[in-house]
Structures are given as structure tokens and as C-alpha cells.
């Protein structure tokens, strides 16, 4: 069963993507990422000598600071910081610059749905712009489950508010970039089909989750292609767009 969306998109259709890099002169790296009317600016500062309290000095530390569009940071933003930090730690080579801290500042410019995936995509592009060593690139997407059991991708704010449940999924830009040929493990641990991060909100069955996972992974190929084309641009400040 399909569902009609107010903006005319099909259930699997993403909003228009846009990304520009190197837009902040004082940051070591920066990126502006938008998906439809959801826009996020990410800035990277570092690596700087020393790690934060309770961090392992034998590895690099990733610090994430979330700045909402208006008002003070609350519980949802604190959760976003934690998820974003863990995601970035998973893709960064933390042993390259031990006992250093890299700060990632995320500024919300506009929230029209799927804000956290947009922020993750912005942060990943900003890390590349800053030259931070990465194991692999990552792309994030939001998959929503309607009350009628349909799955839609990349919801806007109005759609997001009407959903029964949704899941944020982060995939490696290429599964081969994290899995050696013929191997199903990295560092002795199995990789769940190349999933980096999975966060659910609301209640969904296992079958519904697997359906979201399948649709999200298929759509991540378009995000990966867009990200690769953007990063291959020789001029960091160039604006790349995709519909």
C-alpha cells in the first residue's frame, strides 16, 4: 500500500540535497548541508592537544556541541549530541592523533524534519573538509512508519509529527570501505550489514524495522553518490546540488 505525500514525493523519494564546504574561514573544516528545508551548518576545530576529562588519552577525542536554532539546549539536543558523537567516533581513526580533541559544532539553521540525519551528513562532510583521518564516510537517513504500516523516507516536519514510529539509520558510504574482501568482521567484531548507527523512536515490529532497514539501505546509495560527487569537487567552496 502506497501513501500520498503532501509535497508530491513518492514514499522512497528524498528531498533535494545540497552541500557546500569550506564556508567558515576560522574553522579547520566546515560544511552546510540541506535536505529540502532542513538546513544544518557543521564546523570542525582541531585536533587540539589534550583530551577531555574521562576520555582515553591514548586515542583522539571527538567533542560534539549542538546549537539549536533558538533557545537553550534541552534533553532532545543532548541525545542528538550523544548519538552524533558515537557515530563520528565510529568513523574516525582515533589512533592517528592520540591525546587530542577535535570539536564538532553543529548549528541548526532550519528544522523541517529528519534533523539528526541531516546533521550527521553535515558533520561528516565537515570532517572531510578539515582533513580528519576517517575509516570511511557515512550517510544518514530517516525512515518513518505510518499508522497504516507504510514506510516513507526523509520526512518533512509535518510528516514526522504524524508518524507511528521512525528510525535513524547511518550506513558506511561503501560497505567495502569497512569490510576487507571475504571478511564479515572488523576488529574481531561482526558488522551488521554495514550499519554504523541505528536509533528508533516509537514502537515498531521486527518486520517493520527490517523493512525500514531495507528501504533505508537502498536510498543510502543515492546519498553516497551525492556525497562522493561533492567531495570530489576540487574547489571546497563550490555548491553541489541534487534533486
Q: Is the pLDDT of residue 180 over 80?
A: no
Residue 243 lies in a domain: no
Residue 119 lies in a domain: yes
CA distance 43 to 22: 9
pLDDT digits (tens, 9 = 90+) for 84-126: 999 999 999 988 888 889 999 999 999 999 999 999 999 999 9
Q: Specify the higher pLDDT residue, 173 or 24.
A: 24
pTM: 0.86
What average pLDDT does range 183-194 have in this prediction?
49
pLDDT value of residue 237:
44
The DSSP bridge pattern shows strands 100-110 and 61-67 to be parallel
CA distance 76 to 73: 8
Residue 186 lies in a domain: no
What average pLDDT does range 220-236 have in this prediction?
79
Residue 127 lies in a domain: yes
Confidence of residue 141 (pLDDT cuts 50, 70, 90): very high
Residue 223 lies in a domain: yes
Q: Are 230 and 19 in contact (CB under 8 A)?
A: yes
Q: Which CATH number fits the domain that encloses residue 197?
A: 3.30.230.70
pLDDT value of residue 174:
58
N-to-C CA span, the chain:
25
Residue 2 lies in a domain: no
Residue 128 lies in a domain: yes
- The owner of cell 553535515 is 122
71-108: burial string, b at 16+ Cβ within 10 Å, e else: eeeeeebeebbebbbebbebbbebeebeebbbbbbbbb
User: 27-31, 50-54, 97-101, 138-142: lowest mean pLDDT where?
Assistant: 50-54
* Angle (CA) 202 203 208, round 5°: 115
Q: Is the pLDDT of residue 217 over 50?
A: yes
Q: Is the pLDDT of residue 189 over 80?
A: no
Residue 182 lies in a domain: no
What average pLDDT does range 129-145 have in this prediction?
92
Look at the chain and report how many structural domains it folds into.
1
Range of the domain at 110: 17-176+192-232
Amino acid at each position: 500500500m502506497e501513501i500520498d505525500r503532501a509535497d508530491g514525493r513518492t514514499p522512497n523519494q528524498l528531498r533535494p540535497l545540497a552541500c557546500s564546504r569550506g564556508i567558515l574561514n576560522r574553522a579547520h573544516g566546515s560544511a552546510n548541508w540541506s535536505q529540502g528545508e532542513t538546513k544544518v551548518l557543521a564546523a570542525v576545530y582541531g585536533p587540539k592537544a589534550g583530551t577531555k576529562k574521562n576520555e582515553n588519552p591514548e586515542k583522539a577525542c571527538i567533542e560534539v556541541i549542538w546549537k539549536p536554532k533558538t533557545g537553550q539546549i534541552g534533553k532532545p539536543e543532548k541525545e542528538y549530541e550523544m548519538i552524533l558523537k558515537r557515530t563520528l567516533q565510529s568513523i574516525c581513526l582515533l589512533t592517528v592523533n592520540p591525546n587530542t580533541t577535535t570539536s564538532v559544532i553543529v548549528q541548526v539553521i532550519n528544522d523541517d524534519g529528519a534533523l539528526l540525519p541531516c546533521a550527521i551528513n553535515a558533520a561528516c562532510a565537515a570532517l572531510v573538509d578539515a582533513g580528519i583521518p576517517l575509516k570511511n564516510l557515512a550517510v544518514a537517513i530517516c525512515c518513518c512508519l505510518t499508522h497504516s504500516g507504510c514506510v516513507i523516507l526523509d520526512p518533512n516536519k509535518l510528516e514526522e509529527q504524524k508518524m507511528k514510529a521512525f528510525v535513524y539509520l547511518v550506513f558506511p558510504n561503501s560497505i567495502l570501505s569497512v569490510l576487507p574482501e571475504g571478511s564479515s568482521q572488523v576488529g574481531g567484531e561482526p558488522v551488521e550489514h554495514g550499519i554504523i548507527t541505528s536509533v528508533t523512536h516509537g514502537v515498531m515490529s521486527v518486520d517493520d524495522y527490517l523493512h525500514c532497514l531495507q528501504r533505508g539501505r537502498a536510498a543510502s546509495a543515492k546519498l553516497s553518490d551525492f556525497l562522493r560527487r561533492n567531495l570530489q569537487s576540487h574547489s571546497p567552496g563550490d555548491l553541489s546540488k541534487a534533486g
